A = this chain, B = another copy of it.
Amino acid sequence: MDTEIGLFTARKQEILDAAKKLYSRKGYAASSMRDLAKSLGIKPASLYSHYQSKEEMLWEIAIRCTKEFHGYILPMVQEDRPVIDRLDRMLRGHLRMVIKNQDASAIFFHEWQHLEEPRRSAFAKQREIYEQAFIDVLNEGKQKGVFRDVHIRFSMFTLLSAINWVYRWYKPDGKMSIEEIEEEFSKLLIRGLKV
């Protein structure tokens, strides 16, 4: 019997992890099935016993990453806390997700654009749901007078993109710990919203 992780066999997961790393480092379009097979020590044809196509792997990576981000962040919108604390927690959460899924983040932010329809649109839809969560909290804060009269959509993009770039420069052995990065983001980004 297969050793399952979620709906996947362990082998499928190994392959997906290798693909994640490769797509993240070289970009999806520049990554070949030959490259991927080589990194796993198998022949290209063997990959097709696990996935039907190159794009299916991209899709699996993207959609799994989406589920992880959503599962962690979306419930925070309705927590019983002051709106400013909720936004703070959501931004810290987003940062944690980016760092935890550093390779997948490149796919989550960029490479998903190489998906073909209808998957591309399906992903875009999920992405909007995620962004909407931040928009909702920003709107609430604005209406309650906690935040100044900011452009909501603009602020959402700015806050998230400041954090998104972390996947490009974060190194686990770098000078800043995750806690320090969180704290700095919180100070740097939340302050600019306050009345």
Contact = CB atoms under 8 A, between A and B. Distances in A.
Contacts of A153: 175
The dominant DSSP class at the A interface is helix
Interface stretch (A36-44, A79-87, A185-193): A185-193
A8 interface: no
B27 A114 contact: yes
A114 B151 contact: no
Contacts of A165: 157-158, 160-161, 164
Interface residues of A, number: 35
Contacts of A184: 150-151, 154-155, 158
Contacts of A7: none
Interface of A: 27, 29-30, 110, 113-114, 148, 150-151, 153-155, 157-162, 164-166, 169, 175-176, 180-181, 184-185, 187-193
